[in-house]
Amino acid sequence: MRLAAACGLVCGGLMTSGAFAGEDPGGPRTAAVVAGDLVARLGTDRTAGSWTTADGRTVVAVTDRDAAAEVRAAGADPKVVRHSTDRLLAAAESLREAPRVPGTAWSVDYRTNEVRVRADSTVSADDWSRMTELAESIGGFVRMERTRGAFTTRVDGASSIIGDQRRCSAGFNVTDGREAFILTAGHCGPEGTAWFRGGGQGLGLLGTTTASAFPGSDYSLVRYEDEDAAGLTNTVAIGGGRGVRIIGIADPVVGAQVFRSGSTTGFRTGRVTAVNATVNYPEGTVSGLIETTVCAEPGDSGGPLFSEGLALGVTSGGDGDCSTGGTTYFQPVTDALQALGMRMAGITAPAPPGGEPGTEAGALPAPGAPPAGATGGASLPGAEIPPGPGEGRRVTSIVEFDDPGLGLGVIGASLGLLVGARWIGAAQDRRNFRNFQSASWG
């Protein structure tokens, strides 16, 4: 009995320490931080971006061998390339200054050291020819590609929100410290747009758009009608009664696996292929976007992009669908929050030196595969996955072994078992002593 109790104390201690260690915002430096420090130190004239490989290694592109040695000394893998970040961005700026062609998009591909220009099926042969001539005049590192389908915004939902003849997805819950808002895509609707829950107007007014930016950027704010929503946390519903707790914000890393949730196609995954991408939608041009291989369809607009518990972006648009695949672009959360003067609701992690609030918060692993029929997004009041008390921790299995409450429970039970074992032992000793005295003096 004492052995079992001792084992219980050890196990409970490990469970508790492991759970709190997993939520410590002061953990080891991430690959993004290491790469960012290297690029800042070496400069954009000697570097050409960074990315994460499929096996988790951090690669930093550099233009000379001395810089490569510094990268290697910092624990990352260097790749010597021909064109610097400055030159790649100058090429992208030349494309931006040229006459606008709807149906085109471009981004810097750091892994191939190229600027990749894409033209969808709506681009005419004459426009394609003019774009090709421009690319050739810039340099041989600008690569032209034709894509299937057309670049469109994904209006039509995460938790579904319904407007006037439009449907979008809730992204993340944000706040200015006084009121609560939903961060979603700007193309979903202009200021003054009224939004209702996914079931339509019969479920009552959810909120009204108070700020919107599109084109140029692609974000908007929907102020909750319910004043009690001010205490909301952030949990992304992924279907099947499950959710992922959002504990911070971050800028994405090229090559990293990311996850998206939307009311049309549910929970999907892919990888980041580029940042600071530009897309020429029919409605206008949007720049500074995250480019990914995650699929999306109409109605997924505004839905959340996240990874390991960190909010990354909200769905903007793209081409293709979830049957044939395609490219999807996202508005970065960090840029939107800074422009709007907002912060994520329910996140109190302090800002690291030189970083955004919450960017260094501990991360919870995101689920690795989409559940059947999953739909989700930011949890709304009364939605399928209501935010829990405190930080909104979600239990997604029968026994959650990284739960500190469970660990403390095991410790308490083990202590009770030890006390019981000691009492039983003492009682047995007393009986043995009386029996001995009776035998000796009887």
297: its two tokens: 């369809």
The residues annotated with a catalytic role in the active site are 187, 218, 301
- The secondary structure of the chain, three-state, reads CHHHHHHHHHHHHHHHHHHHHHCCCCCCCCHHHHHHHHHHHHCCCCEEEEEECCCCCEEEEECCHHHHHHHHHCCCEEEECCCCHHHHHHHHHHHHHCCCCCCEEEEEECCCCEEEEEECCCCCHHHHHHHHHHHHHHCCCEEEEECCCCCEECCCCCCEEEECCEEEECCEEEECCCCEEEEECHHHCCCCCEEEECCCHHHCEEEEEEEEECCECCEEEEEECCHHHHHCCCEEEEECCEEEECCEECCCCCCCEEEEEECCCEEEEEEEEEEEEEEEECCEEEEEEEEECCCCCCCCCCCEEEECCEEEEEEEEECCECCCECCEEEEEHHHHHHHHCCEECCCCCCCCCCCCCCCCCCCCCCCCCCCCCCCCEECCCCCCCCCCCCCCCCCCCCCCCCCHHHHHHHHHHHHHHHHHHHHHHHHHHHHHHHHHHHHHHC
CA–CA distance, 15 with 8 (Å, rounded to integer): 10
Please enumerate in sequence order all residues whose Cβ is within 8 A of that of 15, keeping only pairs 6 or more positions apart, or say none: 401, 402, 403, 404, 406, 407, 410
> Quick check: 362 and 22 in contact, CB under 8 A?
yes
> Quick check: 235 and 246 in contact, CB under 8 A?
yes
CA–CA distance, 122 with 144 (Å, rounded to integer): 15
